[in-house]
Amino acid sequence: MTPEPHSLTGTDPTFGPPPGCPAHGRGAGGLHRLYGPEAEDLDALYERLRDEHGPVAPVLLHDDVPMWVVLGHTENLHMVRSPSQFCRDSRIWTPLAEGMVKPDHPLMPHIAWQPICSHAEGDEHLRLRAAVTGAMSTIDFRGLRRHINRHTQRLVNRFCEEGSADLVGQFTEHLPMGVMCEILGMGDEYSDRLVQAARDALKGTETAIASHTYVMDALSRLTARRRAQPDEDFTSHLITHPAGLTDDEVREHLRVVLFAAYEATVNLLSNVLRVILTDPRFRAQLSGGQMTVPEAVEQSLWDEPPFSSVFAYFAKQDTELGGQHIRKGDGLLLGIAPGNVDPRVRPDLAANMQGNRSHLAFGGGPHECPGQDIGRAIADTGVDALLMRLPDVQLDCDEDELEWRQSISSRHLVQLPVTFEPKAQQDVKAKPGHAPVPPQRSTDWQIGTPQPGPAVAPAPQPVAPPQPPAPAPQEPARPMGAWRRLLRWWRGY
- Helix, strand, coil % over all residues of the chain, rounded to 5: 45, 10, 45
User: What pLDDT is attached to residue 485?
Assistant: 57
Helix axes 372-389, 141-159, angle to 10 degrees: 40
Nearest to 387 by CA among 283, 266, 290: 283
**Is beta strand 309-315 parallel, antiparallel or unpaired with respect to 411-413?**
unpaired
What is the average pLDDT score of the chain?
A: 84
Residue-wise pLDDT tens digits, 59-89: 999 999 999 999 999 999 999 999 999 999 9
Residues 6 or more apart whose CB falls under 8 angstroms from that of 203 comprise 405
Q: Which residue has the higher pLDDT, 112 or 469?
A: 112
Q: Which amino acid is at 258?
A: L
Q: Which residues pair with 319 in a beta bridge?
A: 326
Task: State the sign of the Cα–Cα–Cα–Cα dihedral 393, 427, 189, 255.
Answer: negative
DSSP-assigned letters across all residues of 417-471: EEE----------SPTT-SPPPPPPPTT---S-PPP-TTTSPPPPPPPPSSPPPP
**SS3 label, residue 294:** helix
**Whole-number Å distance between alpha carbons of 285 and 414:** 26
| DSSP one-letter string for 30-58 | GPEESSSGGGSSHHHHHHHHHHHH-SEEE
Q: Which pLDDT does position 11 carry in this prediction?
A: 39
Is the model's pLDDT at 18 over the cut of 70?
no
Mean pLDDT, residues 216-225: 95
CA atoms of 339 and 312, how far apart (whole Å): 15
Among the ranges given (112-116, 224-228, 253-257), the one the predictor scored with the smallest mean pLDDT: 112-116
Structure-model confidence comparison of residues 488 and 233, the more confident one: 233
Q: Is the pTM of this model over 0.95?
A: no
- Considering Cα of 114, then 118, then 124, then 129, what sign does the dihedral take? positive
- 102's CB contacts (< 8 A; 6+ apart) are 63, 108
Q: Which among 475, 484, 479, 489 is positioned nearest to 445, based on CA atoms?
A: 479
What does the pLDDT read at residue 481? 58
| Higher-pLDDT residue of 408, 327 | 327
How many whole angstroms separate alpha carbon 58 and alpha carbon 68?
5
Please report how the helices 208-228 and 192-203 are oriented relative to each other, as an axis angle in degrees rounded to 10.
Answer: 130
pLDDT per residue as tens digits for the range 402-417: 999 888 888 899 999 9
Identify which has the larger pLDDT, 350 or 301. Answer: 301
Specify the range with the lowest mean pLDDT, choosing from 95-109, 175-189, 341-355, 445-459: 445-459
Q: Give the HSE-up count for residue 199: Cα atoms under 13 Å, Cβ half-sphere.
A: 19
Rounded to 5 degrees, what angle do the CA atoms 480, 486, 488 make? 75
pLDDT at residue 352, as a whole number: 86
Residue type, 52: E
Kindly report the number of other CB atoms within 10 A of residue 157's CB atom.
16
Would you say residue 310 has pLDDT above 70? yes
Task: Evaluate whether 89 touches 113 at the Cβ level (below 8 Å).
Answer: yes
Report the alpha-carbon distance of residue 289 to residue 443 in Å, rounded. Answer: 34
Integer angstrom CA distances of residue 490 from 102, 196, 444, 461, 493: 92, 73, 19, 14, 8
